[in-house]
């Protein structure tokens, strides 16, 4: 079965009726994933926002627009990558997913990654970065992005480099502090370039 068909089957058979955590109670749409099902690069965010919950697509709000711009700066198109989130249902008020919510949704994420078989994973934000790197809740994004990590999963057998970066929403939240926003935006671009180099084998 092709990767696209396997992803669709996973979404329909195991995701659509999921009630593994309370987040399903306010779900308009399951925000499963989008993009190239055989992409060399997978971007993993934290959780859907309001626009994502309404559309069923990840990264379609302001943070998604910013991410698309970052892709263009490193000569990537949105369709070149596969994009998903740690949790597939919107946390209330766009808060970070709670650990038990991440744990409930993790099997879907691991299976997505195993199906796509990327050459590199980009974790956008602290929730995704800490979970995928296997680090403690005290680890900052600044610390995580300055170290080399591997994503390893014993069950699926997937083992690929992991690049941790800031979530695009961090840039937007710091618009009142232009220097912080610029540094974060530059860091995201640098990290995406690093992911492209890894994916190309350089």
- The tally of domains found in the chain comes to 1
Ramachandran angles phi, psi of 192, nearest 5°: -65, -40
CA distance 67 to 77: 10
The CA distance from 59 to 45, in Å, is 8
Spatial distance between the Cα atoms of 32 and 17, rounded to a whole number of angstroms: 12
Look at the block and give the residue holding tokens 């997978």. Answer: 42
Q: Is residue 195's pLDDT more than 80?
A: yes
pLDDT digits (tens, 9 = 90+) for 20-75: 999 999 899 999 999 999 999 999 999 999 999 999 999 998 999 999 999 999 99
Q: Does residue 17 register a pLDDT over 90? A: no
pLDDT in tens, 112-137: 999 999 999 999 999 999 999 999 77
pLDDT band at 15 (very low <50, low <70, confident <90, very high): confident
Residue 37, both tokens: 């099902």
Q: In terms of pTM, does the model score above 0.85?
A: yes
Report the pLDDT value the prediction gives residue 194, as an integer from 0 to 100: 97
* pLDDT of amino acid 94: 85
- pLDDT tens digits along 105-117: 999 999 999 999 9
Instruction: Domain of residue 103: give its range.
Output: 3-200
Is pLDDT at 148 greater than 80 in this prediction? Answer: yes
Task: Look up the CATH number of the domain holding residue 54.
Answer: 3.40.470.10
């Amino acid at each position: 079965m092709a990767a696209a068909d396997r992803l669709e089957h996973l979404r329909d058979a195991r995701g659509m009726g999921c009630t593994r955590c309370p987040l399903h109670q306010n779900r308009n749409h399951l925000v499963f994933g989008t993009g190239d099902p055989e992409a060399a690069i997978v971007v993993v965010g934290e959780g859907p926002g309001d626009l994502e919950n309404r559309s069923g697509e990840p990264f379609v709000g302001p943070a998604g627009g910013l991410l698309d711009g970052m892709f263009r700066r490193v000569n990537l198109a949105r369709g070149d990558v596969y994009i998903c989130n740690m949790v597939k249902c919107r946390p209330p008020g766009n808060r970070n997913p709670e650990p038990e919510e991440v744990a409930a949704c993790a099997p879907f994420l691991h299976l997505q990654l195993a199906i796509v078989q990327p050459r590199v994973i980009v974790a956008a934000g602290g929730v995704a970065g800490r979970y995928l790197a296997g680090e403690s809740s005290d680890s900052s994004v600044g610390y995580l992005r300055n170290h080399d990590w591997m994503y390893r999963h014993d069950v699926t057998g997937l083992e690929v480099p992991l690049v941790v970066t800031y979530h695009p929403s961090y840039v937007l939240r710091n618009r009142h502090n232009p220097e912080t926003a610029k540094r974060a935006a530059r860091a995201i671009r640098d990290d995406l370039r690093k992911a492209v180099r890894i994916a190309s084998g350089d």
